[in-house]
Amino acid sequence: MWRVQSSLANLIFLLLITLLPVVVAQAEGIQIKSVSMAAVGQGYEISIDSDIALNATLEQALEKSIVLYFVTKFSLVDSRWYWLNDEVARGKLRVGLRYYALTRQYHLNHPSFSQSFNTLTEALQALGQLRDYPLTVKSDLKHDVDYIASLRIWLDLTRMPKPFQVEALGSSKWDLSSDKLEWRMKLPTPEQPFQMKGQ
């Protein structure tokens, strides 16, 4: 009886050890949870909710005062079978995440304002929330057309110091990106905004 219990305990332990890397891998990365688009005045705005988690390498880079730049890119394309795809609207935002050892605070630097947080968890939570971001409309938009929308969020390695760019080449430790989401949609109206769940 004791041998059976011991064997069972060993088997459970081995299963847990085997599954542990999977759990850890799922804890890192960028997961887009939802995206919405609303008609506001003469234009359109998007809002995005995502989960962003850093691995140990990126957290160490932050502690060394390296700024991590995250890019969110939304694109709306008119796909015509008789012509090249035409990007009719886009939204692209780059936000810097930095740690200041002197004040022990994390800062998010947006193009027009900055925010401070006491913990990395709070900073990443705010980084994953984009609210009412205006799209740049490049062509005439039509309400009866099916457009192709795409959305992706990633860590922009091109903005990092050169030594880190060299180190990041070919290393999965520096590769932090969401999957590229693509879907077909018609333009939202003031009465009926568009909303979609992510991954």
Q: Specify the long-range contacts of residues 89-93, CB closer than 8 Å, at least 24 apart.
A: 89/44, 89/135, 89/136, 89/137, 89/138, 89/139, 89/141, 90/135, 90/136, 90/138, 91/46, 91/133, 91/134, 91/135, 91/136, 93/130, 93/133
Residue pLDDT, tens place only, 135-164: 999 988 988 899 999 999 999 988 887 776
Distance CA 114, CA 180 (A): 27
Question: Which tokens belong to 171?
Answer: 């290393």
Name 129's bridge partners: 49
C-alpha dihedral (103, 108, 109, 114), degrees to nearest 10:
-70
Q: How far apart (Å, rounded) are the C-alpha atoms in residues 152 and 103?
A: 32
Q: Does the structure show a pLDDT above 70 at 84?
A: no
Q: What is the mean pLDDT of residues 113-120?
A: 96
pLDDT tier for residue 86 given thresholds of 50, 70 and 90: confident
| Average of per-residue pLDDT across 177-191 | 93
Overall pTM surpassing 0.95 (yes/no): no
Domain map (residue ranges) of the chain = 26-197
Angstrom distance (rounded) from CA 179 to CA 96: 21
Least confident of 20-24, 75-79, 119-123: 20-24
At 104, which amino acid appears?
R
Q: Residue 135 contacts by C-beta under 8 Å, 6 or more apart in sequence?
A: 37, 43, 44, 45, 46, 74, 76, 89, 90, 91
Task: Read off φ and ψ for residue 100, nearest 5 degrees.
Answer: -105, 110
Q: Contact 197/183 with Cβ under 8 angstroms? A: no
> Using the 8-state DSSP alphabet, how is residue 177 labeled?
B
Per-residue confidence (pLDDT) for residue 168, from 0 to 100: 65
